[in-house]
Amino acid sequence: MAPTGSLILVSTPIGNLGDLSPRATDTLARVGVIACEDTRHTRKLLTHAGISGKRLLAVHEHNEAGQVAHVLGLLDRGVDVAVVTDAGTPGISDPGTRLVVAAAGAGARVEVVPGPSALVAALVLSGLPTARFCFEGFLPRKGRERAERLGAIAAERRTTVLYEAPHRLEATLGDLLAACGPLRLVAVARELTKLHEEVWRGTLDGALARARESAPRGEHVLVVAGAGGPEPASDEQVEAAVAAKPSRWWRPSWVCPSAGSTTPPCASGSDPPGGAIYG
Ligand code: SAM
């Protein structure tokens, strides 16, 4: 018989606690057990949300496989189990997927309470094309696997989103530059939704120079432009643009750095007539 409990993936804030949705709060308050990466971290979130007395179960990258049977047992007994991680959406460079596979395989209901993720936040802030993109998560630390991923990013025509730790940012920007060339466009998104949120837009050589100038701090996402620049516009986009009869040609200058940045000037050919209007 299929388990009667549900597994519910719940997205939590990536910095700003105000981003915890009402539905996320309701779900965390009503489930029997919350599977979380770090119980102390989740307790703080629950306290903020006014939720107390919850049973927490530690499920992190080192024990997720072993905790699957435990969670399946709870679902079998009709207990609803929420899955949260320290920040963002479970399963995105975080534990969660093994539980989904096991619960769905056992015939349990699996739901999601969508919400914050650094991946989507950085992508939409980058100004790079969002219609087609790929997510690399964290690059392998070294060796052939890392070289292969870098080679794939260099050839990729879609925008690529990567996570990176601050102390590895300079090395990764250096490797991306070596693979993609110094003029590949990149956005470096830092501390999203937090006090020191910042998005820097420019080229890989500018980003590397900046990382060398002062040691990067906080959480970072890199958004790298696809090879060969943006994809050509579709017929529908061209027709819509013609129908709109623009008074002048416009395209977003997504190479332009944020105001106040120390980046070199925008790459040639990328500015809209009349100068930068974005960034
Ligand atoms: N599951 C999370 C999500 O949905 O975004 C990602 C977890 S992953 C272990 C942590 C990485 O996400 C960080 O190293 C950083 O690259 C990125 N990240 C998380 N919060 C961030 C923030 N507020 N600003 C920028 N990057 C962030």
Q: Is 12 exposed, middle or buried (0-12, 13-18, 19+ CB in 10 A)?
A: buried
Residue 239 domain-assigned? yes
- Of 14, 220, 222, the residue with max ligand 1 atoms within 8 A of its CB, to mutate for a pocket test, comes to 14
- Count of structural domains within the chain: 2
Based on the fold, state whether residues 112 and 151 are members of the same structural domain: no
Residue 73 domain-assigned? yes
Q: What is the pLDDT of residues 156-212, one digit of tens each?
A: 999 999 999 999 999 999 999 999 999 999 999 999 999 999 999 999 999 999 999
This prediction has a pTM of: 0.84
Which ligand 1 atom minimizes the distance to the CA of 89? 4
Distances (CA, A) of 23 to 74, 81, 112, 165, 265: 22, 15, 10, 30, 44
Asked if residues 203 and 224 have their Cβ atoms less than 8 Å apart, the reply is no
Tell me, using a 6 A CB cutoff, whether residue 199 lines ligand 1. Answer: no
Closest CA to 133 of 196, 271, 226: 226
Asked if residues 253 and 277 have their Cβ atoms less than 8 Å apart, the reply is yes
Based on the fold, state whether residues 80 and 105 are members of the same structural domain: yes
Rounded distance between C-alpha atoms, residue 204 and residue 187, angstroms: 9
Q: What is the pLDDT of residues 89-125, one digit of tens each?
A: 999 999 999 999 999 999 999 999 999 999 999 999 9
